[in-house]
Structure 1
């Protein structure tokens, strides 16, 4: 009887679906961070990417190793060679007893301009084969200011569910209470080192005294980065102007469609009394206006917000005024959604 009970409990445990635990933090080895920084700085200002390897343990994602991807152009044969390179690298790491489980990827960025539709598509492709994955973003331009510009990102669960349904309408976005700030979630990063590395780093610490003027030299100016931020902001404003023209064309098409629908309904009411069931003909239904895709607009608003944050209050005020001037102030109809800044 006890054996039967144990077997039944085991079968129930197997049949029970595993409950997905939320990701609490990303634990990275110090060696992995140094590899990422070296790879990104050696090829700056070009954007590079690489593979993250590690383990998924409970609520933590441990990143224990990484390797860079070779820089390639857009070519099918070169892309196939890149896939073979990844498989060969993981096979070699497995032979030397190194963690070869893929937990995500890392990539470099310039002035925080990583919010793209391609990043979302890459996340969704990884999610098809990996239960949990992250993207490590490193910004060499911010590192020049003495900041460890390293962050771990993942897509929010609500956004992934809506993306899989492929139904980005204004009604669905309002139902899920989604905006451009809800696309990505930032996961805390914890740097982990072995005891030997920690002891070695302690011995390397200099014992020279530090005075106040040494700290004053660390306050770097942001004027060198303002020109690039202005270029990014102008580019985003141009894209926003193009999207506004598309939105106006969409509303004109929507008005024409509604007029056609009203005329069709009126015609149907008249013909309903004239035709018979045996000799009647079906009416042609006017085609529907294609819904707008809000992913590009959401990502663009994210990039505009990041372009504002350069640490200069005057530039922030100017950028905010420029963005508000480019954004329409008239309320949109209730059946559509308006893309606004935070």
Structure 2
């Protein structure tokens, strides 16, 4: 008779199947309204908040959120922020509201969110939460008639490379990792209860044309385009500085290789003389010689992030320009009629 002894929790966890990848982030409409309200109230200051919900299969459900308090610049007490989060989650648990952390949200200015601070925050969350997302909301872009809301997560290959802290060219080629593989954008699905959907249906028929509808017909997008171009130029300058670092590294590497060859030729000539004199030749490699010390290659992480940010600015400029052309053609047709 087979042994049917109960298995321990560790044995069950070890044989558990690999979880399905994250396919969609399902957010309740009330959570989106809370995020928009918090970000717009403090704009242009950047704010953050906690996302609460459930991780169900390939769907990450976001059912609630709460904002983080804005700390002064001279205040560096992180314990207060942690205590605030614990107190808020305890209060939510007492009123029977989902209090499982599934990520955080943050505001941004013209899409300038791809920084090392965001990556470090992701890695800190990943230590305790297997799957977490960051909801990015851009109030400045939303003023152009587009709901600038996106859900991001770090790719698994990038996280493995970040843990090893090795962003050399050889390692990146080995992992087949480029700047487009740092972040993964997860589709967002807005969910509402049946009562809210029915109420919105009742309001939709009697809703008059609002000022927001007229604002979408404005032809002037100069401030938005100018700020995007300014940020794009700054990123191009930063990328040029990163390229100068690599150029200096390769010049130093070429100079070191030339010095190594000169040293080897001198050592071989010396060994030839010692061999002719019947003496033992000296080794051609000397680890104690500083000429043979490998030069550390600069990290490519900063250049990857800057390139990613440049692509984001270009996409925003392209999208705004396309919308502007559509409005101009519409107004031209109206004038002709």
Q: TM-score, normalised by structure 2?
A: 0.82
* 1:263 Cα offset (Å): 3.9
- Which residue in 1 is equivalent to 2:298? 292
- Which residue in 2 is equivalent to 1:138? 137
Please list the CA deviations of residues 21-57 of structure 1 after superposition, one character each: whole Å capped at 9, or x if unmatched: 2001111111111100000010111111111111111
1:216-295, aligned counterparts within 5 Å?
A: 218-221=216-219, 222-266=221-265, 269=268, 270=270, 274-275=279-280, 283-286=288-291, 287-295=293-301
- Which residue in 2 is equivalent to 1:340? none
CA distance 1:75–1:88, change in 2 (3 Å):
farther
- Which residue in 1 is equivalent to 2:331? none
Q: TM-score, normalised by structure 1?
A: 0.81
SS at match of 1:40: helix
* 1:177 Cα offset (Å): 1.9
SS at match of 2:77: helix
SS at match of 1:26: strand
* 1:104 Cα offset (Å): 0.6
* 1:268 Cα offset (Å): 5.6
> How far apart are the structure 1 equivalents of 2:208 and 2:90?
49
Query: Is the Cα–Cα contact under 8 Å of residues 308 and 315 in structure 1 kept in the other structure?
Result: no
1:1-342, aligned counterparts within 5 Å?
A: 1=1, 4-5=3-4, 7=6, 13-75=12-74, 77-207=76-206, 218-221=216-219, 222-266=221-265, 269=268, 270=270, 274-275=279-280, 283-286=288-291, 287-311=293-317
Query: Is the Cα–Cα contact under 8 Å of residues 54 and 63 in structure 1 kept in the other structure?
Result: yes
Query: Is the Cα–Cα contact under 8 Å of residues 225 and 317 in structure 2 kept in the other structure?
Result: no
Please list the CA deviations of residues 220-242 of structure 1 after superposition, one character each: whole Å capped at 9, or x if unmatched: 43222011112101211221222
> How far apart are the structure 1 equivalents of 2:287 and 2:235?
48
Unaligned runs of 5+ in 1: 317-342
SS at match of 1:309: helix
> How far apart are the structure 2 equivalents of 1:314 and 1:262?
56
> How far apart are the structure 2 equivalents of 1:33 and 1:186?
17
Please list the CA deviations of residues 295-325 of structure 1 after superposition, one character each: whole Å capped at 9, or x if unmatched: 1101111111222234459979xxxxxxxxx
* 1:78 Cα offset (Å): 3.1
In our comparison, the structure showing a higher alpha carbon Rg is 2
> How far apart are the structure 2 equivalents of 1:282 and 1:114?
45
Query: Is the Cα–Cα contact under 8 Å of residues 72 and 78 in structure 1 kept in the other structure?
Result: no
> How far apart are the structure 2 equivalents of 1:66 and 1:158?
29
* 1:267 Cα offset (Å): 5.5
* 1:262 Cα offset (Å): 2.8
> How far apart are the structure 1 equivalents of 2:146 and 2:254?
51
Across the aligned residues of Structure 1 and Structure 2, the Cα RMSD in angstroms comes to 2.9
